């Protein structure tokens, strides 16, 4: 190869310059003329012209692949497997999809065993959830609700109900019946919800996360609700709104019903190339400590279920415009277990730094000293988009163009992270790059729980907000 400073195409000190088809054909024509010593016909209908076209396309493919090989070395330009291999040189591996975990109220006969890998299903979907590799139980020892009945009422008999460490007793008289016994016991119970109806005393915890141990004497616990965790068999970010997972797939005698009450982990999809590049740039700081980048990189990479993390700092002596305390940080995290997040934040925060946030968790250091770590969850901002697309009559229009555009828009939109503004022109470029037959695109947007006034202005997202997109909030009008 000639001196690198004089190289026009190929690899040089300034990088790689690819030779494209027109230049390749020009070079073939010139080389042939120089070799033969005469000018030759190289038009498209000539023998040489057709040969140049065939050979030129093959050479152009080789040049293109050579350029791809060159750029595959660097995370900023590599894609797919090449990006994975490139990032692995700095010990960064793509994060694979994680399964969502939900908490379900399982109701049934006390003592019922739900065998390992028992399955339930989200209604109107194909999503199956499993109880995991161990047997779990519907048991009065871990109840969120219990139904108690009395078979017979006998004067002088003492009926006892114990919740955790507290006992409640009532001795029946000759005038008592089932309802009066249960009402007397219900009146003594404190700190729990309770009702008496149709000869059944129902005791339930004040919130979905609290469980209790309930035992009775001279009475019968007819049914119990025990909260049990279930994991989705399908990996990925799967939404499970409350009371939508209600179908029991694995029928078990004594297991009467199931309903989901809370999402413990929403799961996450396979990391995209864009997300991996972003994390690669952040992970340069992963081995560091006592710095914002270290908190951000380690919370994102090392806490299961975290899909985004940003860290803000107020290093002044006064409260800033965002109400952050002096000399403090604010960590905003999407996904992940709250306790694990707090412990990771504390591990990489230097002494003397205060925390901001609505979520607080207690962390114990190596000296057994307790610390309170605070952080925030991002506020989801619903984005509404309206497109007017004029078709290009000189190109063919994809019959599935509208649905493809909607899916492209939502997929691209949901790559936005915490604090990232919604730039409308990027959506227009996305449509032109991926859809044929588009002549002109006009876009308007608004935000909020309901569609407000649309405008052509970009949507500004503040530091602790995250824009979210949905197919139902994308409207497309196309004209010839």
Tell me the per-residue pLDDT of 197-211, one tens digit each, with 9 for 90 and over.
999 999 999 877 789
Same domain for 190 and 337? no
Is the residue at 80 inside a domain?
no
Tell me the per-residue pLDDT of 295-335, one tens digit each, with 9 for 90 and over.
888 898 888 888 889 999 998 999 988 899 999 999 999 98
- Mean pLDDT score of the chain: 87
Same domain for 311 and 428? no
Is the residue at 89 inside a domain?
no
Last residue of a domain, one of 52, 71, 90: 71
Same domain for 224 and 117? yes
Q: What is the mean pLDDT of residues 364-373?
A: 89
Is the residue at 161 inside a domain?
yes
Is the residue at 354 inside a domain?
yes
* The two three-digit tokens of residue 109, written as one number: 């006969």
**Percentage of the residues of the chain whose pLDDT score is greater than 90:** 51
Same domain for 127 and 261? yes
| Residue 203: CB atoms within 10 Å | 22
Reported as a pLDDT band with limits 50, 70 and 90, residue 291 is low
SS3 297: helix
Residue 24 has pLDDT above 70, yes or no: yes
pLDDT for res 38 = 78
Asked whether 101 and 130 are in contact (CB, 8 A), the reply is no
Q: What is the mean pLDDT of residues 135-142?
A: 95
Q: What is the mean pLDDT of residues 130-150?
A: 94
Q: pTM surpassing 0.95?
A: no
Antiparallel, parallel or unpaired: β 245-248 and 136-138: unpaired
Handedness of CA 324, 328, 333, 337 (dihedral sign): negative
| Residue 324: CB atoms within 10 Å | 21
Is the residue at 82 inside a domain?
no
Q: What is the mean pLDDT of residues 283-301?
A: 69
Tell me the per-residue pLDDT of 414-460, one tens digit each, with 9 for 90 and over.
889 899 999 999 999 999 888 888 889 999 999 999 998 999 999 99
Same domain for 297 and 215? no
Give Dmax (Cα) for the chain: 127
Distances (CA, A) of 159 to 220, 221, 288: 10, 13, 63
Residue 123 has pLDDT above 60, yes or no: yes
Same domain for 399 and 367? no
Structural domain of residue 243, as residue ranges? Answer: 99-265
Tell me the per-residue pLDDT of 160-187, one tens digit each, with 9 for 90 and over.
999 999 999 999 998 999 999 999 999 9
Residue 189 has pLDDT above 80, yes or no: yes
Is the residue at 156 inside a domain?
yes
Residue 41 has pLDDT above 50, yes or no: yes
Same domain for 385 and 241? no
Same domain for 365 and 401? no
Greater confidence (97 vs 153) lies with 153
Asked whether 219 and 161 are in contact (CB, 8 A), the reply is yes
| Residue 441: CB atoms within 10 Å | 20
Last residue of a domain, one of 336, 351, 375: 375
pLDDT for res 280 = 67
pLDDT for res 279 = 66
The single residue listed with the structure tokens 């195409």 is 9
Is the residue at 271 inside a domain?
no
Is the residue at 83 inside a domain?
no
Same domain for 259 and 301? no
Same domain for 150 and 164? yes
Range 45-53, long-range pairs (CB < 8 A, 24+ positions): 52/25, 52/28, 53/25
Q: What is the mean pLDDT of residues 26-44?
A: 80
How far apart, in whole angstroms, are the C-alpha atoms of residue 214 and residue 450? 45
Last residue of a domain, one of 375, 403, 433: 375
Same domain for 66 and 160? no
Q: What burial letters (b/e) apply to 252-261, b meaning 16+ CB within 10 Å?
A: eeebeebebb
* The two three-digit tokens of residue 274, written as one number: 């864009």
Residue 133 has pLDDT above 80, yes or no: yes
Residue 159 main-chain phi, psi, to 5 deg: -105, 125
Same domain for 346 and 417? no
Tell me the per-residue pLDDT of 62-117, one tens digit each, with 9 for 90 and over.
988 888 888 777 777 777 777 766 666 665 777 778 889 999 999 999 999 999 99
How many distinct structural domains can be found in the chain?
4
Asked whether 272 and 415 are in contact (CB, 8 A), the reply is yes
């Amino acid at each position: 190869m000639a001196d690198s400073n004089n190289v026009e195409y190929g690899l040089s000190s300034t990088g790689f310059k690819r030779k494209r088809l027109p230049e390749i054909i020009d070079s073939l024509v010139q080389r042939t003329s120089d070799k033969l010593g005469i000018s030759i016909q190289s038009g498209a209908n000539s023998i040489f012209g057709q040969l140049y076209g065939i050979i030129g396309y093959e050479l152009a493919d080789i040049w293109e692949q050579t350029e791809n090989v060159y750029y595959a070395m660097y995370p900023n330009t590599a894609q797919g497997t090449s990006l994975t291999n490139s990032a692995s040189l700095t010990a960064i591996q793509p994060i694979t999809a994680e399964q969502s975990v939900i908490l379900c109220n399982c109701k049934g006969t006390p003592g019922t065993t739900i065998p390992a890998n028992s399955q339930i299903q989200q209604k109107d979907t194909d999503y199956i959830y499993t109880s995991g590799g161990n047997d779990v139980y519907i048991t009065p020892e871990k109840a969120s609700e219990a139904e108690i009945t009395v078979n017979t009422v006998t004067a002088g008999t003492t009926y006892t109900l114990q919740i955790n460490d507290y006992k409640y007793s009532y001795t029946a008289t000759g005038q008592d019946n089932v309802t009066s016994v249960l009402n007397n016991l219900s009146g003594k119970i404190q700190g729990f919800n309770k009702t008496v109806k149709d000869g059944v005393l129902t005791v339930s915890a004040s919130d979905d996360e609290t469980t209790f141990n309930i035992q009775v004497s001279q009475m019968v616990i007819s049914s119990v609700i025990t909260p049990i965790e279930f994991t989705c068999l399908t990996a990925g970010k799967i939404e499970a709104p409350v009371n939508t997972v209600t179908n029991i797939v694995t029928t078990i005698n004594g297991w009467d019903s199931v309903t989901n009450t809370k999402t413990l982990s929403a799961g996450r999809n396979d990391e995209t190339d864009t997300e991996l590049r972003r994390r690669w740039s952040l992970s340069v700081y992963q081995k560091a400590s006592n710095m914002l980048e270290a908190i951000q990189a380690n919370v994102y990479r090392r806490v299961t279920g975290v899909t985004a993390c940003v860290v803000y700092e107020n290093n002044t002596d006064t409260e800033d415009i965002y109400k952050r305390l002096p000399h403090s940080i604010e960590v905003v995290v999407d996904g992940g277990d709250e306790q694990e997040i707090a412990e990771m934040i504390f591990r990489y925060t230097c002494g003397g730094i205060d925390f901001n946030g609505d979520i607080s968790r207690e962390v114990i250091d190596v000296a057994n000293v307790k610390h309170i770590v605070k952080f925030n969850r991002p506020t989801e901002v619903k984005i509404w988009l309206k497109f007017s697309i004029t078709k290009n009559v000189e190109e063919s229009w994809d019959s599935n163009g509208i649905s493809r555009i909607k899916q492209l828009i939502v997929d691209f939109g949901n790559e936005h992270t915490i604090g990232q503004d919604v730039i409308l022109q990027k959506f227009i470029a996305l449509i032109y790059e991926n859809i044929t037959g588009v002549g002109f695109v006009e876009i308007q947007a608004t935000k909020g729980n309901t569609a407000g006034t649309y405008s052509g202005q970009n949507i500004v997202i503040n530091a602790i907000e995250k824009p979210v997109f949905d197919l139902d909030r994308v409207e497309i009008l196309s004209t010839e």
